[in-house]
Amino acid sequence: MKKFILSGAVLAMIAGPVTAADLAVKAPVYKAPVIAPVYNWTGFYVGGNLGYSFGRASTAWTIAGAPLGSTSQSMDGILGGLQAGYNWQSNNWVLGLESDIQATGQQGSSSVLTPAIPCVPLLVIVGCVPGTGIAAGAGVASTTEKLPWLGTVRARVGMTLSDRWLIYATGGLAYGEINSPGILTVGGATVGATTNTWNAGWTVGAGIEAALWENWSAKFEYLYVDLGNVGNSFVGIAPFTPITTSSHITDNIVRVGINYHFGGPIVAKY
């Protein structure tokens, strides 16, 4: 009996490890990789902006075909408007096209003195009596340049500093409406005329844009705008006629803006 029990114990000891070896091995558990959200700039966007412009009008004057001189006046003012565009991103490069339209409060005025004219017998000149030899008093010619609105259509070429920061250069077409009222006052008499002109020119600039949350981004931008020359001509008062002006209009614009991007610019990156 003792031999039987001892034999069974020995068999159990031998069979035990074999049975354990035959058990199924549990497969290791792997955790899913962490997905890091990355901002992608590709897609359409719309937004608004607000800023300030340091404009300038440089004006050349002629009276009766003779050059009278030149003046320069500032055209500073607040501006604001809307923009829309499309971006396409490849690796760290972002290419795009943007258009904007701005309303502005910009205007500036300048004036020049007309030369005194001696009185001549039988010649009627405002401010003197013919034949007296007393010179006619100098008149004042003035002009005001107003920029009610302007717009641009620009290409943008940028590079991401990180997935949520974009720096870019921009340039293209600029256009706008320029109002130019001109006035001449001599001896209490006043004449004048106003010219409304749509001018096209060019613009270049640079900016930085940051993705804020989900579909929103904010930007800071500088633009230099050159709208070319705008002219005005009106009949003055004899002998100060005609009067013509030619003004070169430029702008230095600093503005901030906010954009909403369509299509969900957040993508996954492993």
Classify domain 37-112+137-269 by CATH number.
Answer: 2.40.160.20
Residue 166, CA distances (Å) to 98, 221, 253, 257, 260 in order: 15, 12, 20, 14, 15
Do 133 and 121 contact (CB within 8 A), yes or no?
Answer: no
Whether residue 141 contacts residue 243, with contact meaning beta carbons closer than 8 Å, is answered with: yes
The pLDDT score that the predictor gives to residue 43 is: 94
- For 155-207, how does the pLDDT look when each residue is reduced to its tens digit (9 = 90+)? 999 999 888 999 999 999 999 999 888 887 776 777 777 888 899 999 999 99
Q: pLDDT tens across 232-251, in order?
A: 887 777 667 788 888 899 99
Reported confidence tier of residue 256, pLDDT bands at 50, 70, 90: very high
**How many CA within 13 A on the CB side of residue 154?**
28
CA nearest to 110, candidates 69, 167, 50, 158: 69
Q: Which residue has the higher pLDDT, 172 or 34?
A: 172
Q: What are the boundaries of each domain within the chain?
A: 37-112+137-269
| CA–CA dist 39, 160 (Å, integer) | 10
Rounded Cα gap, residues 178 and 249, in angstroms: 9
Higher pLDDT, 38 or 225: 225
* Contact by Cβ (8 Å): 258, 48: yes
Tell me the C-alpha distance between 198 and 132, whole Å: 48
Taking every pair of Cα atoms in the chain, the longest distance, rounded to a whole number of angstroms, is 164
- Summary count for the chain: helices (H), strands (E): 1, 12
Check residue 187 and report its DSSP letter: T
Structure tokens at 44: 């359409």
% pLDDT > 70, the chain: 73
Mean pLDDT across the stretch 93-120? 85
> What would the mean pLDDT of 127-153 be, rounded to a whole number?
73
Give this prediction's pTM: 0.76
Task: With a cut of 60, say whether residue 96 has pLDDT above it.
Answer: yes
Tokens 């809307």: give the residue: 82
- Return the exposure string of 118-151: e unless at least 16 CB atoms fall within 10 Å of the residue's CB, then b: ebeeeeebbbbeeeeeeebbebebbbbbbbeebb
Question: Is 256:218 a contact under the CB 8 Å cutoff?
Answer: yes
Rounded CA-CA distance 81/100 in Å is 7
